[in-house]
């Protein structure tokens, strides 16, 4: 048992650090190769960048295990590259406003509701980078003013990990709505589930100090990923559904 624990607690950190690359490298290459980001939601880099940047500042107050800090740093680099390539290869304006983007629009009573100020739906590339710069600057100021307060540090942790934990939810809702997993890559699901296994092992068996924010939000995300697996088993990849229905699928990677 001690050998298993030693193996998992030493292999898991390596997997955690490299997971941003293994999870998203294929998506980046696919967009680059096809010269189109059609079907890819720009909300994926939004969620991961908001979460990972906040995690960096959270580390200064919580001093959680170093591999988790490295993972957040690597994730920022990977997501910036993916956002840059996705913006460079965006489809025509009409195609961008399809149901392939889970957070792009909300539906209320059959009416499509736009986001305030078209947040993260801008046609120009510049506002995306401006938002990230302003967001980072605001967090830096808050860190300087409130970084020594335990309550603020706790809020940082739960917000950062909570934002990351909701990543699977739009995919779950869309799969349920169209009763299909068309466009959702099985390889991504497998990678997420393996990642959950390593993360949970590392969080609960590591001798280092892992804040409960990581554990609770990790458990929630693992539960969502398991439900995605159940959906894939129930609905399949939608290959036999009609062409009209297949247009309403999401591609999340």
| Other Cβ atoms within 10 Å of 120 Cβ, number | 17
Q: How confident is the model at residue 159 (pLDDT cuts 50, 70, 90)?
A: very high
Q: What tokens were used for 3?
A: 């050998």
Q: How confident is the model at residue 35 (pLDDT cuts 50, 70, 90)?
A: confident
Q: Average pLDDT, stretch 23-44?
A: 80
Q: Determine how β-strand 111-113 pairs with β-strand 106-108.
A: antiparallel
Record the pTM.
0.77
Element (H, E) at 107: strand 106-108
74 close to 21: Cβ distance less than 8 angstroms: yes
**H-assigned helices in 63-111:** 66-88, 93-96
Each residue of 103-136: pLDDT tens digit? 444 444 444 457 787 888 888 899 999 999 999 9
Q: Where are the domains of the chain?
A: 2-246
Residue in the block written with tokens 């967009």: 31
Where is average pLDDT lowest: 9-13, 59-63, 88-92? Answer: 9-13
Each residue of 73-85: pLDDT tens digit? 999 999 999 999 9
CA angle 129–90–165, rounded 5-degree value: 60
Q: How confident is the model at residue 203 (pLDDT cuts 50, 70, 90)?
A: confident
């Amino acid at each position: 048992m001690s050998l298993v624990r030693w193996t998992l607690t030493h292999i898991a950190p390596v997997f955690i650090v490299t997971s941003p690359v293994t999870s998203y490298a294929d998506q980046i290459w696919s967009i680059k190769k096809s010269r189109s980001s059609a079907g890819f939601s720009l909300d994926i880099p939004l969620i991961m960048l908001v979460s990972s940047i906040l995690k960096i500042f959270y580390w200064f107050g919580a001093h959680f295990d170093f591999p988790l800090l490295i993972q957040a740093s690597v994730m920022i680099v990977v997501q910036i590259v993916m956002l840059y390539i996705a913006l460079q290869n965006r489809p025509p304006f009409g195609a961008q406003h399809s149901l392939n983007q889970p957070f792009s629009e909300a539906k209320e009573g059959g009416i499509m509701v736009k986001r305030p100020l078209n947040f993260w739906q801008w046609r120009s590339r510049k506002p995306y980078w401006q938002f990230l710069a302003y967001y980072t600057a605001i967090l830096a100021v808050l860190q300087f003013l409130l970084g020594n307060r335990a309550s603020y540090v706790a809020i940082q942790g739960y917000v950062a990990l909570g934002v990351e934990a909701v990543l699977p939810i739009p995919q779950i809702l869309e799969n349920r709505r169209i009763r299909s997993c068309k466009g959702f890559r099985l390889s991504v699901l497998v990678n997420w589930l393996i990642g959950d296994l390593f993360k949970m092992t590392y969080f609960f068996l590591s001798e280092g100090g892992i804040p409960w924010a990581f554990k609770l939000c990790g458990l929630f995300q693992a539960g969502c990923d398991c439900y995605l697996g159940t959906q894939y088993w129930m609905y399949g990849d939608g290959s036999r559904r009609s062409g009209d229905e297949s247009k309403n699928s999401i591609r999340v990677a």
